[in-house]
Amino acid sequence: SILIVDFGSQVTQLIARRIRETGVYCEIHPFQNAAAAVAAMQPKGIVLSGSPASTLDENAPTVAPEILAANVPILGICYGQQALCVALGGKVEGGHHREFGRAEVKVQKLSALYEGIWDLGTEHQVWMSHGDRVVAIPEGFEVIGTSPGAPFAMIANEERRIYGVQFHPEVVHTPDGARLYANFVYNICGIAATWTMAAYREKMVEKIREQVGSGRVICALSGGVDSSVAAVLIHEAIGEQLTCIFVDHGLMRLNEADEVVSMFREQYNIPLVHVDAADRFIGALEGESDPEVKRKTIGRLFIETFEEEAEKLGGAQFLAQGTLYPDVIESVSFTGGPSVTIKSHHNVGGLPERMNMKLVEPLRELFKDEVRALGRELGLPEKFVGRHPFPGPGLAIRCPGGVTREKLDILRKADAIYLDEIRKAGLYDTIWQAFAVLLPVQTVGVMGDGRTYEFVCALRAVTSVDGMTADFYPYDMAFLGKTATRIINEVRGINRVVYDVTSKPPGTIEWE
């Protein structure tokens, strides 16, 4: 495996994604825990991430001696390269030449790092983001590549198999970056590609059996990809010792609840309790328009309902959850101070302690794209596995203001038409998330010869990598016009459609 030491770069997770894509397992650990991680993982290679810090700062993060003592290949990226240099006796200075964005590096010397990828003397596009730069390299190192702003853009000690690059090979703006990582893990670290979802499935089935023994597991199924994949995997491991509880809050999209129930019961034969709690949820939301109160109400009712059902089943020792690797990674943050709560996310966080259950989290090591691959491996339908993310509080946060059954019905119809048009236009997989929002505003229109006074529907579509930042999707006007016409013609209660052209930040993806 590969250990990624996190110095707090925005793109550390991308390093892990690139390495996992080569079929090699890796883990991210904060630099403060690097020594423990080296001991626990016994990695065959180490990557040092970038950082917003400067090696020139007092208290700058440093390369733990255990990293160098591990005697395995090391690749330092940006700050990682600079910190390596400092640790080994080189020198870093504040940049006179700051480089941000695209740059060209020139190969000055052949190196194992780009064997078979780059030739001597050639130039290649890379992505830079640095103020400081290396000005003197440690003994035993040589310059293998330069860029206009960084005379030591790429350095190597081939004998010790230590490499440093000033640019970021993990971002898409470094077109050959993925191949450089592949070269590092296969040729320099000598690791074979054995990290596949087929192997993961086998390993996890064993692990789940070992953890659970003859105990009982309950799973809060949300209808989303993560909890579904977790449930199917756990069922494969322990069969009828698993029961799924699907708290149907009545806030799902058109036909969604039925599809989930039939997939689990019919395709997989998994014991499933379907709790129709729509009255309870919608009743509590009806007069409430404060977004945070709505979210908290849904969270509280979910936990109450789930607990009641679990009690009816006679309880369980384990709770299954679809926790993913990004939730587990303890990233280094240099922002200082606690961050502000933008929205209270809905999850089953408080349940295990309250109900005194241990957690079974078979997806803890996986990124979202790996969960999708595992889902395919387990035979989940493509339409389900490739689905856009859907928030826990469901359509309630897409109905600003009070939620009523009538409004939910209108929204469901509009949303289904919108997604249908997106699929027909072949855009579903290009767009990261798309949905309709029913605004609590009525406007005047004219249909036939009559006046109408109905709701406004807003359409949202974004591209994103992880939902943390997003751009609105640039539809052509013909698509929007056609979709708007269909919604207004086919959905009673809507007489106006608008398109949301806000990116995140400053907007969020959902409206509440």
Binding site for ligand XMP (CB under 6 A): 343, 345-346, 389, 391-393, 433, 467, 504, 508-510
- 314 annotated ligand binder: no
Nearest CA-CA partner of 251 in 276, 287, 221: 276
Catalytic residue among 78, 189, 219, 457: 78
Q: Which is nearer to ligand XMP, 294 or 496 (CB)?
A: 294
- Looking at residue 306, its amino acid is F
Active site residue 236: no
Handedness of CA 212, 228, 3, 95 (dihedral sign): negative
Q: In what helix (H) or strand (E) does residue 385 lie, and over which residues does it extend? A: helix 382-385
Q: Which is nearer to ligand XMP, 88 or 462 (CB)?
A: 462
3-state secondary structure of 373: helix
Give strand pairing partners of 133. 93
Active site residue 78: yes
* Distances 409 to 107, 254, 466 between C-alpha atoms, Å: 61, 9, 30
Q: What is the rounded distance in angstroms from the CA atom of residue 325 to the CA atom of residue 31?
A: 18
Q: Which is nearer to ligand XMP, 66 or 510 (CB)?
A: 510
Cβ–Cβ contacts within 10 Å for residue 333, how many?
A: 11
Nearest CA-CA partner of 341 in 405, 304, 292, 375: 292
Nearest-approach distance from CB 302 to ligand XMP, in angstroms: 11
Nearest-approach distance from CB 206 to ligand XMP, in angstroms: 29
Reading the block at residue 137, the tokens are 């390299």
Q: Which is nearer to ligand XMP, 106 or 364 (CB)?
A: 364
Nearest-approach distance from CB 465 to ligand XMP, in angstroms: 12
- 86 annotated ligand binder: no
Reading the block at residue 441, the tokens are 């505003």
Q: Which is nearer to ligand XMP, 147 or 433 (CB)?
A: 433
Indicate the length of the chain as a whole number. Answer: 512
Nearest-approach distance from CB 404 to ligand XMP, in angstroms: 21
- 223 annotated ligand binder: yes
- 339 annotated ligand binder: no
- 222 annotated ligand binder: yes
Catalytic residue among 29, 124, 130, 168: 168
Q: Nearest 5°: phi and psi at 464?
A: -165, 170
3-state secondary structure of 101: strand
Nearest-approach distance from CB 362 to ligand XMP, in angstroms: 18
- 226 annotated ligand binder: yes
Q: What is the rounded distance in angstroms from the CA atom of residue 275 to the CA atom of residue 249?
A: 8
- 147 annotated ligand binder: no
Q: Which residues have CB under 8 Å from 146's CB, separation 6+?
A: 105, 106, 108, 152, 153, 154
Nearest-approach distance from CB 410 to ligand XMP, in angstroms: 20
Nearest CA-CA partner of 222 in 404, 399, 437, 391: 391
Catalytic residue among 99, 170, 256, 454: 170
Q: Tokens 């403060």, residue?
A: 32
Reading the block at residue 37, the tokens are 């991680």
Active site residue 235: no
Q: Which is nearer to ligand XMP, 345 or 383 (CB)?
A: 345
- Active-site positions read 78, 168, 170
* Binding site, annotated residues for ATP: 222-228
* Binding site, annotated residues: 222-228
